[in-house]
């Protein structure tokens, strides 16, 4: 990881990614952007039982949307669903138990879901940051399997169904941490050197931004976007980054603040007036590279990423 990129990113984060950064940005938000009725529109949200995913599901349910919560843990998902229904008085909230790190499970869900349901918006929110290298039952590194391959399979498998919908959108919750990373296609599963979970996560988030750009160029009928939620106080941050959480807790955003741009991209008429494929922070398209950071990848490197993902996806397709 570049020391320069890390230093510039952290200073930027202190100014922009914190609670005060959100409050400054929110002064310029148009409240009417989220004044929408989502009745009849179907939203698939991964990792929707806690943190930013749950806050996103709540906001969509509040506006009458049909919410499909894609979660790994059935009990936690059902408890979150009950809370969302209670608060929104919207009964159209459904749980689907899927482990996003299992390529086979993701394929099976996507195929079954698209046969039986409409989907207007896919929100790729589920994330994984394990700090020791672990392999899934399918033999894949767990961060990569969840954040990159799982996202790739679910999105590509649902694209045909999305194309049948009115105003289809795909929103991927990435991270500003990706600004510290240049795409590395030579070690996608972190087999070389000392494993660093934070670096692996940031690399996966860079991959998600590149995938969003590619999907947007290939599927003009669908509006694609990726976004950074800022530094939010979520269970995932507490678990995966305990020292960062302890030092920054008073400055972290709420889960609702972290979810704001995801919700805006998923529901607002203003969002689709922006070009497809961009990376957003606090409802604004922002640069995907830091100045002078040498983090840009070549078209050949990006093609290699896509080719590896396509091969792996087909390997596990039922």
Q: Which of 318, 306, 54 is nearest to 155 (CA)?
A: 306
Active site residue 201: yes
CA geometry: angle 173, 62, 127, nearest 5 deg: 20
Beta bridge partners of 45: 69, 123
Between the two ends of the chain, the Cα-to-Cα distance in Å is: 37
Residue for token pair 């996966």: 204
Residues with Cβ within 8 Å of 8's Cβ and at least 6 positions away in sequence, in order, are: 290, 291, 293
Label residue 77 exposed, middle or buried (CB < 10 Å: 0-12, 13-18, 19+).
Answer: buried
Active-site residue list: 201
């Amino acid at each position: 990881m570049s020391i320069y990129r890390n230093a510039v990113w952290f200073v930027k984060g202190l100014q922009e990614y914190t609670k005060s950064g959100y409050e400054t940005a929110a002064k310029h938000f148009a409240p009417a952007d989220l004044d929408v009725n989502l009745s009849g529109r179907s939203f698939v949200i991964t990792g929707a039982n806690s943190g930013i995913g749950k806050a996103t599901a709540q906001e969509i349910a509040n506006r009458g949307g049909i919410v499909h919560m894609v979660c790994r843990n059935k009990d936690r998902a059902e408890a979150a669903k009950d809370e969302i229904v209670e608060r929104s008085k919207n009964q159209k909230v459904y749980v689907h138990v899927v482990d996003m790190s299992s390529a086979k499970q993701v394929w099976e869900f996507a195929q079954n879901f698209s046969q039986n349901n409409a989907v207007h918006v896919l929100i790729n929110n589920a994330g994984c940051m394990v700090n020791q290298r672990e392999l899934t039952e399918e033999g894949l590194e767990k961060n990569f399997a969840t954040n990159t391959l799982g996202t790739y399979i679910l999105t590509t498998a649902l694209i045909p169904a999305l194309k049948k919908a009115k105003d289809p959108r795909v929103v991927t919750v990435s991270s500003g941490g990706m600004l510290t990373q240049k795409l590395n296609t030579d070690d996608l599963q972190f087999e070389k050197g000392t494993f660093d979970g934070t670096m692996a996560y940031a690399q996966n988030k860079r991959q998600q931004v590149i995938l969003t750009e590619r999907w947007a160029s290939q599927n003009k009928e669908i509006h694609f976007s990726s976004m950074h939620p800022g530094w939010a106080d979520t269970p995932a941050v507490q678990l995966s980054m305990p020292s960062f959480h302890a030092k920054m807790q008073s400055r972290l955003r709420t889960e609702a603040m972290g979810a704001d741009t995801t919700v805006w991209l998923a529901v607002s008429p203003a969002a689709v007036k922006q070009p497809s494929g961009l990376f957003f922070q606090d409802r604004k398209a922002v640069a995907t590279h830091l100045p002078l950071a040498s983090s840009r990848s070549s078209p050949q490197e990006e093609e290699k990423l896509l080719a590896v993902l396509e091969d792996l996806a087909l390997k596990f397709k039922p």
